[in-house]
Structure 1
Amino acid sequence: MDLARLRTLRELAVRGTMAAVAEALLVSPSAVSQQIALLEGEMGTALVERRGRGVVLTLAGARLAEHAGAVIAILEEARTDLAAMRREVAGELRVAAFPSVAASLIPHAIRSASARYPALRISFEELEPAEGLAALRAWQADIAIVDDLTTAGPADGRIELAHLLDDTLHVMLPRGHPLAARPFVGLGDLRGEPFALDNASRDYAAVVVRACREAGFEPVVNGRCEGFEVVRALTAAGCSISVQPGLRATGDDAEIRFRELRPAMTRCISAAYRRGEARHPAVGAFLAALNDVVGAARREERLPTPGPPGPATAPTASGR
């Protein structure tokens, strides 16, 4: 059996659509269909069937995808074993992270690890936490940065987490906003305020909307943006307010004020990797670089230190 075709089938089982598989593998959807068709010919049975405009795996396809996952896992474990035996930090390491971490921590970690280990090639992809976990499971990433606010976390035992930091959410306000004079702001204080949401991070935006609803009001959204830059511009101009991660709250400036939410909304940010791969020299080296960067940022006060929680904690993606 052709390993590339098995990997394509496994990707389809994880990602669900031909288009998503094509995007992950950097090929065209027709190339994905061709790989599946060749594998069906090799196996002598149908592996997918049409459902409306999409496809689903047949029973045989689902079973073969399970075996493909096991085979690929064994090969990855062999790669890790050999790398651990060599104790050489080299080769390619694929890292995924969501925007606020990607902007504040990842560049420093890549620079540090690359300077220390010149033979290590680090590639980065910006992915939301759920997408990063999917990339890990599909062997498209080696480390994914995730949080417990937008994802329930891995539950299948194949993924391990290493805690990096806790991040407390802040309200981002125009400089002259009345709430900017307060040391803290409650969600209820934002009733009737015009919100700008970053829809490039849809899961995070959904968390903010859900938290407002649980605080007893429907947020008035006057800005649906595809990135933090526009959210910030709307806020600076006095058009909107926003709720942003603490990683974005690097201090007040001439246009913007950040105020911590009370009761606190805090998320736990972790590095996720496949079980057992922390012993891979490249994975271990990058995890160490990440922790060094977090520690240095704390010492230099480039990361806000979470204050004491209020009388209640915020809801998470699991509904708490």
Structure 2
Amino acid sequence: MNPWRLRLLSQLDALGTVRAVAQAAGLSPSSVSQQLAVLEAETRTQLLERTGRRVRLTSAGLILARRARAILDHMDSVEAELRGFGEEPSGLVRLGAFQSAIHTLAVPAVSRLAQRHPHLDVELLELEPHESLLALRSGEADVVITTTDFDELPLGPDLDLVQLATDPVLLVVPHGHPAAGRGPVDLAACADEPWAFDMPQSYMAGLALRLCRQAGFEPRVVCRFSNYLMTLQHVEAGLSITLLPGLAVDRRYRVTTRELAAPVTRTITAATRRGAPPRAAVHAVLDALRHQPSPPLPDRE
């Protein structure tokens, strides 16, 4: 059996559709279908069945897809052992992290790893929390930095979790803004303000909208950015206010942060697949994430 085709089958189990697998793998849907058909021929077993225009895994396909993850993990482990006989962390580790954790947690950890373990390669992937768990389960990531505080993020017994930090959600306003006084802020007082939001369907856009509605108002959104630095620039210019995690507030921007009267704090967590063969490289990445200085808090006036 070809490991690449096994990975496609495992992704189909995790992502649900051939189109989603194609997007993740950078292939056309027809190419994915062709490779899965070849896998069926290699195994001499029907792995897929059509229901209307959709394809789903047969019982045999489900068994192979879920065993495939263990097979691929074991191959990665063997490769790492052959490269370093298991003593020195080596090989490739794919680390997924959401935007605000990349420059505060992931990049410093990867920089230290590059100095300590020259045979270890870390591929850094920007992934929203809900995306990172899918990538972890499908084998597209080996370690992810995610957050575990909200019901829409599907955790389960198949994951091992390591708490890294806590991170408050803050109101961010321009210097001199009326809300820039001292003390926590009631979001209801900001009902008439122009708001900067993350992109629709993103983690922070959903959280900010939920908090505004809990405070009794529908926010007037004047801009949406997928990059927190652009959001901070917009706020700094006096054009909007926003809600951001503390890790996302870059100290180079002249903005003021305020804690919320009803505090919201998220737990930053590293996750790996439970039951995957132990790899020195993965343990080295986890240790680097655990044992690092806490990032500086944003300035408050």
TM-score (norm. length: structure 2):
0.87
Question: For residue 195 of structure 2, what is the amino acid of its counterpart?
Answer: F
Contact kept? 2:89, 2:284, Cα under 8 Å: yes
1:121 has 2:121 as partner: yes
Instruction: Rate the CA distance shift 1:80–1:200 in 2: closer, same or farther, 3 A.
Output: farther
Q: Is the CA contact 1:183–1:260 (under 8 Å) kept in the aligned structure 2?
A: yes
The alpha carbon displacement at 1:57 in A equals 3.1
Of residues 124-133 and 142-151 in structure 1, the stretch that sits farther from structure 2 once superposed is 142-151
Contact 1:149 1:268 in 2 (8 A): yes
- Give the structure 2 partner of residue 303 of structure 1: 297
Question: Residue 253 of structure 1: CA displacement?
Answer: 4.7
Residue 179 of structure 1 corresponds to 179
- Aligned to 1:22, the other structure's residue is in SS state helix
1:224-263 pair list within 5 angstroms: 224-251=224-251, 253-254=253-254, 256-263=255-262
- How many pairs align? 298
- Do the aligned partners of 1:235 and 1:241 also contact (CA within 8 Å) in 2? yes
**1:91 corresponds to 2:91:** yes
Cα distance per residue 1:88-139 (max 9 Å; x no partner): 2111111000000012221111100110111111111101111111111111
Judge which range, 142-151 or 270-279, deviates more. 270-279
Matched with 1:206 is: 206
State the alpha-carbon separation in 2 of the partners of residues 163 and 66 from structure 1: 27
Q: Please give the secondary structure, in 2, of the residue aligned with 1:86.
A: coil
Higher mean displacement: 274-283 or 229-238: 274-283
SS in 2 for 1:293: coil
2:136 and 2:273 in contact (8 A); partners too: yes
- Distance, in Å, in 1 between the alignment partners of 2:293 and 2:65 is 38
What is the root-mean-square deviation in Å for CA atoms of aligned residues? 2.8
Counterparts of 1:1-320 in structure 2, within 5 Å, are: 1-42=1-42, 43-45=44-46, 47-49=48-50, 51-52=52-53, 54-72=54-72, 75=75, 86-149=86-149, 155-199=155-199, 202-251=202-251, 253-254=253-254, 256-275=255-274, 279-295=278-294, 297=295, 302-303=296-297
Whether the 8 Å CA contact 1:277–1:283 is kept in 2: the answer is no
Q: Take 2:236 and 2:41, find their aligned partners in 1: how far apart are those partners? A: 59
Structure-1-length-normalised TM-score: 0.82
Gaps of 5+ in 1: 306-320
Aligned partner of 1:316 in structure 2 is none
Unpaired runs of at least 5, structure 2: none
Contact 1:172 1:242 in 2 (8 A): yes
CA distance 1:79–1:130, shift in 2 (3 Å): farther
Change (3 A) 1:154 1:88: farther
